[in-house]
Amino acid sequence: MRTETRQGPEIWIRGPVTAPGPPEPTHPRASSRRFSWVGTHGGAGVSTLAAVYGGHDSGRAWPGPDAPRSVLLVARTHAAGLDTVLPAVEAFRRGGAPRGVDLDAVVLVPDAPGRLPRPLAQRIRLIEQVIGVYRVPWVSEWRLGDLSGRPPRGAEPLARLTGWAR
């Protein structure tokens, strides 16, 4: 005895079916989330990043009660700078930050133009295994104090994260 059965997925819909609306725009939307930039060491670039991307310049301290509670840790890509990142992340995880502060990511600022030496690149890979990392390319204009204009090419993910818009 042979029976005919239909093959394929069955779709059951509950409730009214409406026609799809217009497609969502594909341009990135600015985030309403604000950040506090916190340096893991002196000279990390916190003030520059806060001036370019917006947000609160916390220097080397956790943000106060009136500052945004989302934190981006900032460090330079030289050996001494990279050595401060994981202890800062660990301090946060052990409760060293004020209650209600969220650690979102680490932002690495180059200490010199050009490619990183292999030992420094390996340290960055270790950091990336622990927390999200955003890298900013070398910007000669920033070194000269010119913080106007758009964020540098190659830093689009950070611009999206911070909701940069001018």
- Per DSSP, the three-state class of 27 is coil
What are 116-159's pLDDT values in tens digits? Answer: 999 999 999 999 999 999 999 999 898 898 988 778 888 889 98
Q: Selecting from 3.50.50.60, 3.40.50.300, 3.30.590.20, 1.10.275.10, what CATH number does the domain 35-162 have?
A: 3.40.50.300
pLDDT band at 27 (very low <50, low <70, confident <90, very high): very low
3-state helix, strand, coil in the chain (%, to 5): 25, 15, 60
**What residue spans define the domains of the chain?**
35-162
CA dist 108 and 125 (Å) reads 12
Least confident residue range of 21-30, 37-46, 117-126: 21-30
Phi, psi of 10 (to 5 degrees): -105, 135
CB 78 within 8 A of CB 43: no
CA dist 161 and 31 (Å) reads 7
pLDDT of residue 122: 97
The separation between CA 56 and the C-alpha centre of its own chain, rounded to angstroms, equals: 15
